[in-house]
Structure 1
Amino acid sequence: MDDETLISVKNIFILAFILVISFAVISILLRNDSIALAFLGDITSVVIDLLVVLTLFYATIRSAHLGLRVQIAWMIMTVAFMVYAIGDILWAILELGLQQNPFPSVADVFYLTFYPLFALGIYYLARFSFTRSEKLKIFIDMGTVIITVGLIFWTFLIIPTLSSPENLFTTNVSAIYIIGDFLLLLVLLRLLYSKVDENYGSVLFLGMGILVLICTDTIFAFQTLQGTYVSGGLLDTGWILSFVLVGLAAFLQASEEKFDFQRFSQIRVWFQRSNLTPYLPLIWVLIAFTLLIWANDNVITPNLEYIELGVGFIIVLVIIRQVITLNENKNLITAAGKELNYKNKVERVLVESEKRLFDIIDFLPDATFAINSQGKVIAWNRAIEDLTGFKAKDIMGKGNYEYSLPFYGMRRPILIDLVTHSDENIEKHYDSFERNGEVILVETEAPLKGINRTLWGKAVPLYDGNGHINGAIEAIRDITERKNAENEIKSSLKEKNILLQEIHHRVKNNMQIISSLLSLQTKYVDEEEAVNVLKESQNRVKSMAMIHEKLYISKDLAHINFVDYIQSLVKNLFYSYNIENTNIKPIFDVEDITLNMETAVPCGLIMSELVSNSLKYAFPNGMKGEILVSLKTVDDKYELIIRDNGIGLQEDIDFNNLETLGLLLVNNLIEQIDGELTINRSSGTEFKIKFKELEYKERI
Structure 2
Amino acid sequence: MSSVYNKSQGSKSLFTTQNIILASIGWGVLALLYFLLFSAKVPVGADCVAKLSAKAQEATTCLRRADWYVFGTNVFEAMAYLSASILCLRNWRSQQIVSDRNVWLAIGIGMLSYFLGGIFFGYTEIVLKEEPFPSLGDVFFVITYLLLGVGMVLAVASRRLNLETSQWIIVLAIGAFGSALAWLISNQPQTAAVQAQYSPGLEIVASALNWFYVISDVLLLIIATTLLLAFWGGRVSLSWRMIAAAAFSLYIADMWYKYATNSIPNYQSGEILEVFWVWSGVLFGMGAVLEHDASLSRSRRERVRKRS
Equivalent position amino acid for 2:239 in 1: S
Q: Given the superposition, is the C-alpha separation of residues 183 and 171 from structure 1 closer, same or farther in structure 2, using an over 3 Å criterion?
A: same
Correspondent of 1:104 among 130, 134, 156: 134
Q: Given the superposition, is the C-alpha separation of residues 65 and 26 from structure 1 closer, same or farther in structure 2, using an over 3 Å criterion?
A: closer
Which residue is equivalent to 2:171? 142
Which residue is equivalent to 1:205? 242
Which residue is equivalent to 2:80? 48
Equivalent position amino acid for 2:160 in 1: S
SS in 2 for 1:65: coil
Which residue is equivalent to 1:668? none
CA positional deviation for 1:45? 2.1
Q: CA deviation digits over 1:271-299, x for unaligned, max 9? A: xxxxxxxxxxxxxxxxxxxxxxxxxxxxx
Q: How many residues align?
A: 252
Correspondent of 1:238 among 276, 284, 288: 276
Which residue is equivalent to 2:60? none
TM-score, structure 2 as length reference: 0.71
* CA–CA distance in structure 1, aligned partners of residues 18 and 116 of structure 2: 30
CA positional deviation for 1:248? 0.8
* CA–CA distance in structure 1, aligned partners of residues 142 and 101 of structure 2: 24
CA positional deviation for 1:57? 1.2
Larger deviation, residues 5-14 vs 105-114: 5-14
Q: Given the superposition, is the C-alpha separation of residues 257 and 168 from structure 1 closer, same or farther in structure 2, using an over 3 Å criterion?
A: closer
Which residue is equivalent to 1:86? 116
User: Is the contact made by 1:184 and 1:210 (CA closer than 8 Å) also made in structure 2?
Assistant: yes
CA positional deviation for 1:143? 3.9
CA positional deviation for 1:232? 3.1
User: Is the contact made by 1:56 and 1:247 (CA closer than 8 Å) also made in structure 2?
Assistant: yes
* CA–CA distance in structure 2, aligned partners of residues 231 and 140 of structure 1: 36
* CA–CA distance in structure 1, aligned partners of residues 134 and 210 of structure 2: 9
Q: Given the superposition, is the C-alpha separation of residues 37 and 59 from structure 1 closer, same or farther in structure 2, using an over 3 Å criterion?
A: same
SS in 2 for 1:88: helix
Q: Given the superposition, is the C-alpha separation of residues 47 and 190 from structure 1 closer, same or farther in structure 2, using an over 3 Å criterion?
A: same
Match runs of 1:429-468 below 5 Å: none
Q: Given the superposition, is the C-alpha separation of residues 130 and 188 from structure 1 closer, same or farther in structure 2, using an over 3 Å criterion?
A: closer
SS in 2 for 1:105: coil
CA positional deviation for 1:137? 7.5
* CA–CA distance in structure 2, aligned partners of residues 184 and 257 of structure 1: 25
User: Is the contact made by 2:97 and 2:292 (CA closer than 8 Å) also made in structure 1?
Assistant: no
Percent of pairs with identical residues: 19
Correspondent of 2:28 among 20, 36, 45: 20
Q: Given the superposition, is the C-alpha separation of residues 180 and 34 from structure 1 closer, same or farther in structure 2, using an over 3 Å criterion?
A: farther
Q: Given the superposition, is the C-alpha separation of residues 256 and 149 from structure 1 closer, same or farther in structure 2, using an over 3 Å criterion?
A: closer
Question: Does structure 1 residue 249 correspond to structure 2 residue 287?
Answer: yes
Correspondent of 2:228 among 189, 192, 198: 192
Which residue is equivalent to 1:470? none
Which residue is equivalent to 2:254? 217
* CA–CA distance in structure 2, aligned partners of residues 118 and 130 of structure 1: 20
Structure 1: state its 5+ residue gaps: 260-700
Question: Does structure 1 residue 71 correspond to structure 2 residue 101?
Answer: yes
CA positional deviation for 1:241? 0.9
* CA–CA distance in structure 2, aligned partners of residues 37 and 243 of structure 1: 19
Correspondent of 2:160 among 107, 112, 129: 129
CA positional deviation for 1:184? 0.7
Q: Given the superposition, is the C-alpha separation of residues 13 and 128 from structure 1 closer, same or farther in structure 2, using an over 3 Å criterion?
A: closer
User: Is the contact made by 1:41 and 1:233 (CA closer than 8 Å) also made in structure 2?
Assistant: no
Which residue is equivalent to 1:375? none
Which residue is equivalent to 1:174? 210
CA positional deviation for 1:256? 5.7
Equivalent position amino acid for 1:211 in 2: F
* CA–CA distance in structure 2, aligned partners of residues 6 and 119 of structure 1: 32
* CA–CA distance in structure 2, aligned partners of residues 56 and 74 of structure 1: 5
Question: Does structure 1 residue 159 correspond to structure 2 residue 187?
Answer: yes
User: Is the contact made by 1:116 and 1:183 (CA closer than 8 Å) also made in structure 2?
Assistant: no
Structure 2: state its 5+ residue gaps: 1-8, 42-64, 196-202, 298-308
CA positional deviation for 1:163? 8.5
Q: Which has the larger radius of gyration?
A: 1
SS in 1 for 2:15: coil
TM-score, structure 1 as length reference: 0.33
Q: Given the superposition, is the C-alpha separation of residues 9 and 108 from structure 1 closer, same or farther in structure 2, using an over 3 Å criterion?
A: same
SS in 1 for 2:246: helix
Q: Given the superposition, is the C-alpha separation of residues 200 and 75 from structure 1 closer, same or farther in structure 2, using an over 3 Å criterion?
A: same
CA-atom RMSD in angstroms: 2.9
CA positional deviation for 1:107? 1.0
Equivalent position amino acid for 1:97 in 2: V
Equivalent position amino acid for 2:17 in 1: V
SS in 1 for 2:96: helix
CA positional deviation for 1:158? 2.4
* CA–CA distance in structure 1, aligned partners of residues 181 and 150 of structure 2: 25
* CA–CA distance in structure 1, aligned partners of residues 34 and 16 of structure 2: 27
